[in-house]
Structure 1
């Protein structure tokens, strides 16, 4: 991870630090980001290699700006230029950005955080009147112990697969082909999305003897606006939970896909103003697509 930077001098409109990092002026926020559904696909550490100039460490978090729908260079860690971080030591750790609380953005002017709701994304139309905003907040896998925090937007199946038990019946089979196929459905990480609970309505978490719960984040951005956000997948190019498996060659893991709607701080409803066309940003392909009909 890059060290904390110290400002050094100003020359020709650019600010440099002791590590030759150029602090670029911030572009004013465009209102077109508000009140539209934004889909982000395949957000991964590999997406920041070209801007850091060196391969990232697998423990480094990904900093992302919801307001500018883009990866933020780790040099801006102590700033209000990012809103949510992903990745880190557990792989799926999620954090907000709050400069007054210990965390990645500590020491900046950021006022971010998030609330984690047991609610379907599509059913959240209004900003909750009361919610527990964690500052900055730190959630990982919906599992207890070393594998997670106990509360998070993802669920881990451990060595089996309680969501798709039919896929792991051949674990330990003497047939190497069957055993390998079953292995690719073990140790799975699923986003607790609407699609997951709809696709597997009878799936029970064996540790709780309870049905899966969808999880939606209400994110307060670093500048104080709000977004509702739902994680969709942890597997590259794979949004359908029925198609997810731990196949590093064809569907590598560590790629976040999610959707969100951003509203201004003084609004109370998601989509209160006439919504703008939805957008999809595919980070791995560096493409942006507008969907007028979505």
Structure 2
């Protein structure tokens, strides 16, 4: 009897000491799922430098591992939550150029959960998109990556890849045959570039190469809708003319903007009634 009482007391102490925390069999510390604030809806949100300074537990395990993001909470999501409905989009693949939705009924990172997310990519500028496409146009979980405007990729990707040259920067490629090592080092900074097909990027290079802007429409894991424009994959740089590969510039590091609306609203036009929010991660 005495042993039984002591054992019960010990169990009680351990339970009290871990009050407020829930752990799975692998020791993962699960946090309570708090509903997003209504303040996220009907406003433009700009995220700067996702991936540059991810919190502990949010970093991908290797170059092929995804990073996760919640549009409704405008924050990165820990990799331990990959099989949950807490994230809306993932970034994976080569240079993490592939953006995927979160859907629990289809093969993907969120398989087996209650997530209902999907993606459709529009051949349209972010500011021009006011309506949500019909559900029949969405792919589940859906994805978007390289665009065929760069000579390789899908018909509607969100980013172009320049390969060994740079068809958008002939001013830099004109010296590609120069044997001077210093000149070649400068040329190399502008090869194998990834440019997001934002409104500003397309406008910047309109006299060099004709491109079309892309807007990604996302059905979130909870069933709301967002329109999203990727802007940069280079840390601290939004100006396409300043983008380059350099040892002091982290890549891939995402900057993008988006607007979230509730499912029942079914449109983006005339609904942005809160001030813009910029979040530097």
- Residues in 2 aligned to 1:172 and 1:18: alpha-carbon distance in whole angstroms: 58
Shift, 1:13, TM fit? 4.0
2:251 to 229, 250, 253: 253
Q: CA RMSD in A?
A: 2.3
Q: Please report the TM-score for the alignment, with normalisation by the length of structure 2.
A: 0.87
- Residues in 2 aligned to 1:12 and 1:264: alpha-carbon distance in whole angstroms: 34
> CA separation of 1:274/1:86 partners in 2, compared to 1, >3 Å: closer, same or farther?
closer
Q: Report the counterpart of residue 231 of structure 1 in structure 2.
A: 230
**1:101–1:135 CA contact under 8 A, matched in 2:** yes
Q: Report the counterpart of residue 57 of structure 2 in structure 1.
A: 51
User: What runs of 5+ residues in structure 1 fail to find an aligned partner?
Assistant: 1-8, 205-210, 284-294
Shift, 1:277, TM fit? 1.2
Count of residues paired in the alignment: 265
* More strand per residue: 1
Shift, 1:14, TM fit? 2.8
1:106 to 108, 111, 118: 111
- Residues in 2 aligned to 1:66 and 1:55: alpha-carbon distance in whole angstroms: 18
- Residues in 1 aligned to 2:140 and 2:95: alpha-carbon distance in whole angstroms: 19
> CA separation of 1:126/1:167 partners in 2, compared to 1, >3 Å: closer, same or farther?
same
1:21 aligns with 2:28: yes
1:156 aligns with 2:155: no
- Residues in 2 aligned to 1:144 and 1:122: alpha-carbon distance in whole angstroms: 21
**1:229–1:258 CA contact under 8 A, matched in 2:** yes
1:198 aligns with 2:196: no
**1:235–1:252 CA contact under 8 A, matched in 2:** yes
1:177 aligns with 2:182: yes
Q: Report the counterpart of residue 3 of structure 2 in structure 1.
A: none
**1:59–1:88 CA contact under 8 A, matched in 2:** yes
- Residues in 1 aligned to 2:135 and 2:143: alpha-carbon distance in whole angstroms: 20
Q: Report the counterpart of residue 267 of structure 1 in structure 2.
A: 265
Shift, 1:248, TM fit? 2.5
- Residues in 2 aligned to 1:141 and 1:188: alpha-carbon distance in whole angstroms: 12
2:83 to 78, 86, 94: 78
- Residues in 2 aligned to 1:67 and 1:193: alpha-carbon distance in whole angstroms: 22
SS of corresponding position for 1:56: coil
Q: Report the counterpart of residue 130 of structure 2 in structure 1.
A: 125
- Residues in 1 aligned to 2:73 and 2:139: alpha-carbon distance in whole angstroms: 22
SS of corresponding position for 1:257: strand
Q: Which has the larger radius of gyration?
A: 2
Q: Which runs of 4+ in 1 moved over 2 A?
A: 9-15, 87-91, 128-131, 147-151, 271-274
2:144 to 139, 144, 152: 139
User: What runs of 5+ residues in structure 2 fail to find an aligned partner?
Assistant: 1-14
> CA separation of 1:89/1:178 partners in 2, compared to 1, >3 Å: closer, same or farther?
closer
